[in-house]
A and B are shown apart, each in its own frame.
Chain A
């Protein structure tokens, strides 16, 4: 069997496949160059381009504002790194609470429903302002005064509600036959969730989950509205002093650079799941 040599026909076919691949590559490259070339030309040939370039894309201002923005951005990073695990835990707990069927857990279900309805309904920026200014103002003993803390709480609560719905959609998308087969093995409802439904649901919702996390990363910029010195605040500060908006573009670049690796990581994770679980279908 090791002596197998591809037949001349097969070799010919491989050559054809290679040339088809080359042609696809060529078409793709040409299409890319063409589309982006036209877009770039359209922007640079516009009548106001010189003004736009000076106020938004000034190299000198970008360099000058960079250190302050970098400092501020570290705060954004810290914020979403702390918030993301908390959101995952909170959201999964809420989603599971909504799935609970035991009668004595009904109050929990009600709390979960009211929570998602309320916190998804209120604009995130309002939550941030209300929590960061309102909570310390209560003057209660033991309540932290730090606006960073309360802004973080606001973000966690707001995104927790969204992500809970994502988890719920994932849980409900698992086919009833899975519940039946877990039940048939004698697993309880909690065990079924823990070992059968949730692991499958989580895999399924990774893309929308990532979507919400990217959204969260960007929304950490909302804390600039409660005088927390994040990247956005630093940029606006600089822009107001120097009458130049380049720092805003720098901030935008920071956020883009932050989210792209996360997107690639998710793609890779998804592919790995697909390869492991769907032999012969996906590759």
Chain B
């Protein structure tokens, strides 16, 4: 517990009257792959945004690398520079080439030299099968390619934790496989990840633990074998019946 990379205790977040996260607890050890599942609006994305300090929380404590980061005095940029995030809609910068998208943060935030940043970017791009798109602009690429570029962009700064927010939700099935294979490879290397996903088979394969969210609460969590084969809660069973064709 003391060595956890990321800890969340009693997290609460509301938008006005709408309670989006209610008393959420979560522990992520280095090397864990935590999958957040649940229907749309259950709070998966908001949880990820809170972890990255993109949202001001209403209560609870978030700690990362051994210190509380939900303290208002904490330098958010320093925290975020250790956390990578990939969004559902890619959010690449359309005015920059693929290479510039990837080297922006390493060079401007982490002070890496242009040469080193580009070398790392090229190496990562080659690994994810994007070597020939280095100089292209994002809009010239397919959705799957764009999302892999976004993944590379998040990885370029060597983050201690990677947050993936339904990164395949906007892709067609053929391209989903490409992106998921990339994530699978990262998981196999021991990259620590928290990801919201609708891909249940994928979650079953790569997750070290799965959390089922329902109306802003983590209703049930455990290793994937347990959640997918013997869920404790009726609501979880219902959800899985609907998303997993028999």
Binding site for B on A (CB under 8 A): 1, 4, 6-7, 9-10, 13, 16-17, 20, 280
- Complex contacts, B70 vs chain A, CB 8 Å: 13
- Complex contacts, A9 vs chain B, CB 8 Å: 59-61
Q: Is the CB of B15 within 8 A of A4?
A: no
Which of A6, A7, A20, A280 is within 8 Å of B72, CB to CB? A20
Binding site for A on B (CB under 8 A): 10, 12, 15, 19, 22, 58-61, 70-73
Which of A10, A17, A280 is within 8 Å of B59, CB to CB? A10
**Given A9-B61, A10-B58, A10-B59, are A4 and B73 also a contact pair (CB < 8 Å)?**
no
- Complex contacts, A10 vs chain B, CB 8 Å: 58-60
- Complex contacts, B15 vs chain A, CB 8 Å: 280
Chain B nearest Cβ from A217, distance in angstroms? 34
Which of B58, B59, B60, B73 is within 8 Å of A16, CB to CB? B73
Q: Is the CB of B10 within 8 A of A13?
A: no
Which of A6, A7, A13 is within 8 Å of B71, CB to CB? A13
Which of B10, B12, B19, B73 is within 8 Å of A20, CB to CB? B73
Q: Is the CB of A16 within 8 A of B71?
A: yes
Chain B nearest Cβ from A11, distance in angstroms? 9
22 A-B contact pairs sorted by A residue (CB < 8 Å): A1-B19, A1-B22, A4-B12, A4-B59, A6-B58, A6-B59, A7-B10, A7-B59, A7-B60, A9-B60, A9-B61, A10-B58, A10-B59, A10-B60, A13-B70, A13-B71, A16-B71, A16-B72, A16-B73, A17-B72, A20-B73, A280-B15
- Complex contacts, B10 vs chain A, CB 8 Å: 7
- Complex contacts, B60 vs chain A, CB 8 Å: 7, 9-10
> When chains A and B are docked, how far (Å) is the Cα of A134 from the Cα of B71?
70
> When chains A and B are docked, how far (Å) is the Cα of A10 from the Cα of B59?
5
Name the residue on A nearest B56 (C-beta). Answer: A17
Chain A nearest Cβ from B106, distance in angstroms? 25
- Complex contacts, B72 vs chain A, CB 8 Å: 13, 16-17, 20
Q: Which of A6, A13, A17, A280 has the most CB of B within 10 A?
A: A13
> When chains A and B are docked, how far (Å) is the Cα of A17 from the Cα of B10?
19
Name the residue on B nearest A14 (C-beta). Answer: B72
**Extra 15 A-B pairs, beta carbons < 8 Å, given A9-B60, A13-B72:** A1-B19, A4-B59, A6-B59, A7-B10, A7-B59, A9-B59, A9-B61, A10-B58, A13-B70, A16-B71, A16-B72, A16-B73, A17-B72, A20-B72, A20-B73
- Complex contacts, B19 vs chain A, CB 8 Å: 1
- Complex contacts, B58 vs chain A, CB 8 Å: 6, 10
Chain B nearest Cβ from A48, distance in angstroms? 47
Chain B nearest Cβ from A278, distance in angstroms? 13
